[in-house]
Amino acid sequence: MLGKEFCGLHVAIRLLCPWNSPASAAAKSLQSCLTQCDPIDSSPPDSADFFIQDINAGLKDETEIPDQLVPISSLSEEQLENLIKKLRKASEGLNCTLKDQIMSHPALHDALNDPKNGDSAAKHLKQQASILGNIENLKLLGPRRCFVEFGAGKGKLSHWVDIALKDAEKVHFILVEKVTTRFKVDGKHRKKNSVFERLQIDIQHLCLNKIPLLSKEKLPVVGIGKHLCGVATDLALRCLVETYAASCEERNEEPLAKRIKNDKTEKEINTLAKEGNEKNIPEKWTPVAGIVIALCCHHRCDWRHYVGKEYFRALGLGAVDFHYFQRMSSWATCGMRKTSLEASDISTKRRGKQNDGSEEHDDGGYAITDDSPESLPGFLTVEEKKKIGHLCKLLIDQGRIKYLQQKGFSPALQYYIDPLVSLENVLLTALPNHSSSPETSA
């Protein structure tokens, strides 16, 4: 076409973005798009300092996992009964009734009461408010720290943490998400006292202590997440307490309170005290000040990455048992949602997301699937199957609790939201043992 860069045939051709694949743009506007592309939203090259292949993956033992495992629906009634007996024996002594810790936070008051909210928006706001309330209750909501949101999606949880902190000093946010995300809210923050950095990387390969922001500032890290999907929870825990905390402790860092006195004048410290912020300054510096993660999708856990393998082995359980317990965990919410497991699996693989709470499917229920109650032998009632599903979730989470205890943390499991709001309503929290925050228990 005269005077045009592209002919009519090629004007509609779309090209993959060289910085942000799988994003694409019309060939005629690619150069213009590149000038607007946010470079921090690009996938890090393998040469990036904080990219270390499989650093959080855990040990791989091919001998433990058979090449093929039959679906639960193909097991005989006797095989299934034996699995359930193993589960019940392993779960003896576990507290199956978790504490209700449903909270809120004034930072979300206006948003929660907005008459324009639909059911979905209201549901997510209630969850974010409760998570934020729990963060504050653990005395983790304060100045001079870095919040790392795993499976950040649009970054809404960090957004509300930032709103709640108002003008708190020296607050940083690192938002970790595996894929490109549209309609992010972190780009809207321009406060001088808070810094947002988004990393597009799989948690499996993330080395926190190689991120310039953390290696320079040496701020205590608070790991947070809203419905961190299955295996991503285990990757995040290992990223925090093994990869990051262990490497930082080797440096013998000086206490935070001492550093504050070196960096600030007496006048500034007095100002903080008057504002009431001194209660949020840890007495002893710790690489990981706390962990607050809303759990999700236990059926997407993976034996290799699971942090509770030692706990399972101590109970006489192995990779095969874990595989079936993981699949049976979906019974807890089975039939509560219209979307099928197959559809959600395909969708997740296509998106590659590690956050299962990004407005898509955080209810955790599934329609009839290969492992659903409707497709299994009928010697158990639906209610019994739901109880077994919950028991599977609890046992998997107990392995995480034991792991955190061994790593020097005081962890806890609690219900943070009503099941009518979300069926995936368990919150995992952990504080370092020397923390002066309220006592927690599993």
Burial bucket for residue 36 (CB in 10 Å: 0-12, 13-18, 19+): exposed
Structural tokens at position 41: 């939203």
Residue 179's CATH number: 3.40.50.150
CA distance readout (Å), 158 to 75, 148, 361: 44, 8, 20
| E-strand stretches of 327-378 | none
Quote the number of domains for the chain: 1
Task: With respect to residue 123, please indicate whether it lies within any of the assigned structural domains.
Answer: yes
In a domain, 124, yes or no: yes
Is 112 contained in some domain?
yes
pLDDT of residue 63: 63
Q: What is the pLDDT along the chain (442 residues), one digit of tens a residue?
A: 455 544 444 445 566 565 454 556 666 665 565 445 544 444 555 557 899 999 999 887 766 766 678 888 888 899 999 999 999 999 998 988 899 999 999 999 999 999 999 999 999 999 999 999 999 999 999 999 999 999 999 999 999 999 999 888 889 999 999 987 776 777 666 666 778 999 999 999 999 989 988 888 888 999 999 989 899 999 999 999 998 877 776 654 444 444 444 444 334 434 443 444 444 444 456 899 999 999 999 999 999 999 999 999 999 999 999 999 999 999 998 645 433 333 334 334 434 456 544 444 454 444 334 455 445 556 788 889 999 999 999 999 999 999 999 999 999 999 999 999 999 999 999 999 976 444 433 3
Say how far apart CA 426 and CA 418 lie, in whole Å: 10
Which residue range(s) make up the domain with 169? 95-249+285-308+408-431
Would you say residue 289 lies in a domain?
Answer: yes
Q: What is the percent of the chain with per-residue pLDDT over 70, rounded to a whole number?
A: 66
Q: Which residues contact 47 (CB under 8 A, 6 or more apart)?
A: none
Q: Strands 171-177, 194-200: parallel, antiparallel or unpaired by DSSP?
A: parallel
426 within some domain: yes
Would you say 197 and 42 are in contact if contact means Cβ atoms under 8 Å apart?
Answer: no
Asked if residue 342 belongs to a domain, the reply is: no
Phi, psi dihedrals of residue 199, rounded to the nearest 5°: -115, 120
User: Is 190 part of a structural domain of the chain?
Assistant: yes
Does residue 273 sit within a domain? no
How far apart (Å, rounded) are the C-alpha atoms in residues 369 and 328? 11
Whole-model pTM? 0.78
